[in-house]
Chains A and B, each alone.
Chain A
Amino acid sequence: MALVTPEVIAQVARLARLRLEGPDLTRFTEQLSEILQYVQRLQAVDTERVEPTTHVLPLSNVLRKDEPRPSLPSDTVIALAPAQRPPFVAVPKVIET
């Protein structure tokens, strides 16, 4: 039995900003269904009184001193962008005029 349908995977793909259709959608749905089926074995584990582990280290609220310090020069960083109009990064138009 398939745990997920192509419709569900297509919706997840839209959320993740990936295009997925045709044979790819069918193949991914089958593979993800098989992986989710395998993962189902966790449902049998009794975790009634178990706290979740998010991080293994007993560290919390790690802060550094709130002092200004030099950062990378903005032209160095802007130069990494695939499209630029210094001092800005360029993207397709967002707002209709």
Chain B
Amino acid sequence: MPVGDLASKTIHELRHMIQAGTVSPPEIVDDLLARIDRLNDSRRIHAYLAVDPERIRRQAADLPASARAGQLYGIPITVKANICVAGEETSCASRILEGFRPPYDATVIERLRRAGAVLIPNANMDEFAFGSSTENSAFGVTRNPRAQDDRVPGGSSGGSAAAVASNMAIAALGSDTGGSIRQPASFCGVLGLKPTYGRVSRYGLVAFASSLDQIGPLAKDAEDAAMLLNVIAGHDERDSTSAPVEVPDYVAALRRPLKDVTIGLPEIPSEGLDQHVRAAVDGAIEVFRTLGVKTVPVELPNIDKAIATYYIIATAEASSNLARYDGVKYGFRAASGGSLTDMYLDTRTQGFGAEAKRRILLGTYVLSQGYYEAYYLKGMKVRTLIKQDFDDAFTACHIVLMPTAPTPAFRLKEKLDDPLQMYLSDIYTISANLAGIPALSVPCGAGPDGLPIGMQLLAAPFQESLLFQAAHAYEQATDWPSRRRNWRSGNAG
């Protein structure tokens, strides 16, 4: 078998091969590591901050017999560097957590282990998930594997998306606070799901904005994303925001016919919307119509306020969550000869990058006395209006469809010095976090230069099954398995 052949497969394909006895977990890991060795160099894709082949091989060799029945037995799953894996560096791509090895597993990691998965930790990301390009990593950028030139993979889960897209991962976990799973999925041509708020436990996820953060899968197709959600979803008493809502079998739901599903098409802010993105999404809508899906117009009148609302709420929560990094209990401490306050100041000033500082400052400002009502309270009220828009829309349709991002992947450094322009690239993804609803980005085409384009499917809370069902029907109608296999140009070639 040629090198990279196993690494290019999906979870469900590998699972069948393992069950048939035609491949073993160590063989899969060896093939994946060969691929990583070839492509992960910091001058190439750099999807992982660090890879320890021996530790990964040992996991595959030492899988307990009891794990054999697990849904993910012997399947390597890549993990974003802000999800705690016991004993593995979990730096959030920040100097302030450089070298931090958590003594415990996040709940999602415990669940993956129980299902028999082999963990590949340390996917690159924007520092503390602050960003939309992975350029804010303190340890070097990730490049988009689908681009011919130097383009961003999106962010903040850019390492996870680039790894899946370049077959340096079978599938991956990311986190999504304002689009950090979906936007990189769109830029790299893979699927990415932000589950309903409360669907997946955040215990062991390094907190960014606690009323918005969710962990979710990035995958090569809808079935893989459904398989991963089957494993990671469910109530966890260690996360007080985890919902005690039953978990359906998402894989079983996948093959239901799309009959009687109505898709709502909202008027969206079109400023900055690339014509190729518009054309690709319109093409996807036509595919759904040929599958017998009814489409209706829906209104989301407050969606144009989503970014302003988000950058108040998310930065306020981030400034308070990041107050814990003070150089005392873990992570980096600056060599400071002065007082305790000097040590705090030096540690935080040297430990945080520019975007983290911007967000801490903005968040501290909007929460400070005299500004709280004008900014934070106002933001929480507009959030209510945005949530109501979706509640109303879902009385008229089952799924809302719109682009994931206004453009395909942009160039490295194109937006780095203009934070507001960077924030605007999240315009279509942010409202799902504010409303707490599930949203899935699905590849639906490419621009003339071959850069992937994604469409976004959104549903009412806990209706992830519907999203998988629609994505799977679309994949079948457009021959996605063979399109995916032939889609190997660019930096990963």
Contacts and interface: CB of A to CB of B under 8 A. Distances in A.
Contacts of B461: 56
B293 interface: no
B343 A41 contact: no
Contacts of A81: 328-330
Interface residues of B, number: 67
Contacts of A89: 328-329
B287 interface: no
How would you classify the secondary structure of chain B's contact residues: helix, strand, loop or mixed? helix
A39 B365 contact: no
B387 A53 contact: yes
Interface stretch (B112-120, B129-137, B180-188, B304-312): B304-312
A83 B340 CA distance: 13
B100 A59 contact: no
Contact of B344 (A17, A20, A39, A83): A17
Nearest to B378: A42
A85 to B, nearest CB: 13
Contacts of B419: 31, 34-35
Contacts of B383: 52-53
Size category, A interface? 35 or more
B391 to A, nearest CB: 11
A80 B197 contact: no
Interface stretch (B38-46, B138-146, B352-360, B450-458): B352-360
Interface stretch (B47-55, B155-163, B164-172, B236-244): B236-244
A16 B319 contact: yes
B349 A19 contact: yes
A27 to B, nearest CB: 9
Interface string B319-345: 100010011111111001011111111
Contacts of B396: none
Contact of A18 (B327, B342, B357, B365): B357
Contact of A82 (B331, B358, B420): B331
A1 interface: no
Contacts of B309: 42
14 contacts: A4-B365, A12-B368, A18-B357, A32-B361, A38-B311, A39-B311, A40-B308, A42-B305, A54-B211, A59-B198, A80-B329, A82-B330, A92-B342, A92-B343
Interface of A: 4, 8-9, 12-13, 15-20, 28, 31-32, 34-36, 38-43, 45, 47, 50-57, 59, 62, 64, 72, 76-77, 80-83, 89, 91-94
Interface of B: 100-101, 103-104, 197-198, 211, 237, 240-241, 243, 302, 305, 307-309, 311-312, 319, 323, 326-333, 336, 338-346, 348-349, 352, 357-358, 360-362, 364-365, 368, 374-375, 377-385, 387, 419-420, 423, 435-436, 461
